[in-house]
């Protein structure tokens, strides 16, 4: 038997581990400056509890414990934080809550080569505050967090689930068709969207608009283009809020690029308003994703608006490498030798107090 790590899991060696730590510290510093407080959730959750908050479309690892409870390794952090908030932090006098984290998530993927089953995410959850100002805060923090890592070339694509939800609800009563449309949007599968719009299971006028919606992207003008497309059908929900959010973010971020993209949909079905993803050249998967999820906490017994995002370290580091950002030097800055061990330790301690990285070289 070859003593290797399981498929989709890997060891992280010192150079990369140090780089990940420096990235995490840079991101955490931005979180702290915006007033977000760190939290941690268990790696393991009860499946039936977690599913109260939303459908776990990304297949989680499932197993039974000795109490015969069906458990899952967390596939994301938003749902565990929502559960924790409802159970442990529900005193309204302390709200709104600005929470942040850096934790691993686990997803059971097919055996296709190269699919990670463990990933590190750093993110925030802004709980108890709705509206465009809160949405803009979350987006501006995402921009600053990505820039803090050294990333310069990236795009944040902003959309809303409200328009597609309204269109799909009116287009057909066929639940299977609706689910397939959302799946096609999530996977950015234009071919599937075209096919679904023409397969006869939806009202033609709505199906045509669903197909056209996936093509609308650009700057602020894309919002007006979407409005012209969907207003005749009464499906312009969320566009006013989206425009105000876009204007506020566009006026307050430097670096990166903000765009509108109505094809943006998450695999998690708990989003209720704006959704967004961050992309960088030469990296096919999103570096970060997030949005507004105003009804999720209701499933855990607390009614509160919320929004947040998660940055995926693995994709972010691919983007940094592609943009020629290099890991920090992790070796010692000085090696201390002395025949007297007490003197050697004292010399090394004095240098460390100056912030130097020092290793002991032994006796001479």
pLDDT at 362: 67
Percent of the chain at pLDDT exceeding 70: 95
Q: Which of 229, 202, 206, 203 lies closest to 216, judged by CA? A: 229
Q: What percent of the chain stands above pLDDT 90?
A: 65
Q: For residues 160 and 238, what is the distance between their CA atoms, to the nearest angstrom? A: 7
326 or 28, which is more confident: 28
Q: What pLDDT does residue 3 have? A: 87
Mean pLDDT of the chain: 91
Residue 30, pLDDT above cutoff 80: yes
Q: How far apart are CA 101 and CA 113, in angstroms?
A: 29
Which pLDDT does position 363 carry in this prediction? 60
Task: Find out whether 216 and 226 touch, Cβ atoms under 8 Å.
Answer: yes
- What are residue 99's phi and psi, to 5 degrees? -120, 145
pLDDT of 349: 95
Q: Note the pLDDT of residue 114.
A: 64
184-191's contacts with Cβ under 8 Å and 24+ in sequence apart are 185/214, 185/263, 185/265, 186/265, 186/266, 186/267, 188/263, 190/214
Strand runs labelled E in the chain = 37-38, 44-46, 62-64, 70-73, 97-106, 118-127, 155-160, 217-218, 257-261, 274-280, 283-292, 306-312, 334-336, 358-360
Taking CA atoms, 249 is separated from 36, 245, 254, 283, in Å, by 19, 6, 10, 24
- Which of 39-43, 105-109, 211-215 shows the lowest per-residue confidence on average (mean pLDDT)? 105-109
Q: What are 3-27's pLDDT values in tens digits? A: 888 888 888 898 999 999 999 999 9
The arithmetic mean of pLDDT across residues 204-225, rounded, is: 93
Residues 6+ apart with CB under 8 A from 282: 318, 319, 322
pLDDT digits (tens, 9 = 90+) for 187-197: 888 899 989 98
Calpha distance 343→249 (Å, rounded): 57
The answer on pLDDT for 269 being more than 80 is: no
Average pLDDT over residues 339-351: 93
Measured distance CA(3)–CA(363) in Å, rounded: 38
pLDDT in tens, 105-139: 998 876 555 678 899 999 999 999 999 999 999 99
Lowest mean pLDDT among 94-98, 259-263, 320-324, 330-334: 330-334
Q: Tell whether the model's pLDDT for residue 147 goes beyond 60.
A: yes
Residues 6+ apart with CB under 8 A from 28: 38, 100, 102, 122
Least confident range of 47-61, 160-174, 230-244, 291-305: 47-61
> How far is 285 from 312, CA to CA, in rounded Å?
10
- Residue 110 has a pLDDT of 66
What is the pTM for the complete model shown? 0.91
pLDDT in tens, 85-100: 999 988 878 899 999 9
Residue-level pLDDT at 113: 56
What confidence score (pLDDT) does residue 56 get? 65
Tell me what pLDDT residue 189 has. Answer: 86
Domains of the chain: 14-322 (3.30.930.10), 333-364 (no CATH)
pLDDT of 225 reads 95
Q: Give the three-state DSSP class for 192.
A: helix
The residue that leads in pLDDT, 292 or 270, is: 292
Q: From start to end of 138-256, where are the E strands?
A: 155-160, 217-218
User: Minimum mean pLDDT among 198-202, 214-218, 227-231: which range?
Assistant: 198-202
């Amino acid at each position: 038997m070859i003593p290797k790590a399981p498929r989709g899991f890997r060891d992280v060696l010192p150079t990369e581990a140090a780089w990940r730590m420096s990235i995490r510290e840079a991101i955490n510093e931005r979180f702290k400056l915006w007033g977000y407080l760190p939290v941690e959730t268990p790696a393991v959750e009860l499946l039936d509890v977690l599913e109260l908050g939303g459908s776990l479309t990304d297949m989680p690892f499932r197993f039974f414990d000795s109490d015969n409870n069906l458990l899952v390794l967390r596939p994301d952090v938003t749902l565990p934080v929502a559960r924790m908030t409802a159970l442990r932090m529900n005193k309204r006098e302390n709200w709104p809550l600005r929470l942040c984290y850096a934790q691993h998530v686990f997803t059971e993927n097919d055996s296709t080569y190269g699919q990670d089953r463990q990933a590190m995410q750093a993110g925030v959850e802004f709980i108890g505050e709705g509206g465009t100002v809160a949405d803009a805060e979350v987006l501006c923090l995402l921009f600053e967090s990505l820039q803090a890592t050294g990333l310069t070339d990236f795009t944040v694509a902003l959309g809303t689930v409200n328009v597609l939800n309204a269109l799909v609800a009116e287009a057909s009563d066929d639940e299977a068709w609706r689910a397939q449309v959302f799946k096609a949007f999530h996977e950015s599968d234009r071919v599937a969207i075209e096919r679904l719009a023409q397969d006869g299971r939806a009202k033609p006028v709505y199906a045509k608009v669903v197909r056209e919606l996936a093509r609308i992207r650009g700057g602020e003008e894309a919002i007006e283009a979407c409005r012209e497309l969907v207003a005749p059908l009464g499906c312009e929900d969320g566009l006013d809020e989206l425009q105000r959010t876009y204007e506020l973010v566009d006026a307050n971020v430097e670096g990166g690029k903000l765009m509108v993209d109505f094809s943006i949909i998450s695999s998690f079905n708990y989003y209720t308003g704006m959704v967004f993803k961050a992309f960088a050249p030469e990296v096919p998967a999103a570096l970060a994703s997030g949005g507004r999820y105003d009804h999720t906490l209701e499933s855990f017994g607390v009614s509160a608006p919320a929004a947040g995002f998660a940055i995926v370290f693995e994709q972010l580091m691919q983007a940094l490498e592609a943009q020629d950002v290099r890991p920090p030097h992790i070796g010692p800055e000085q090696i201390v030798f002395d025949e007297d061990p007490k003197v050697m330790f004292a010399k090394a301690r004095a240098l460390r107090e100056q912030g130097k990285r020092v290793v002991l070289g032994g006796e001479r």
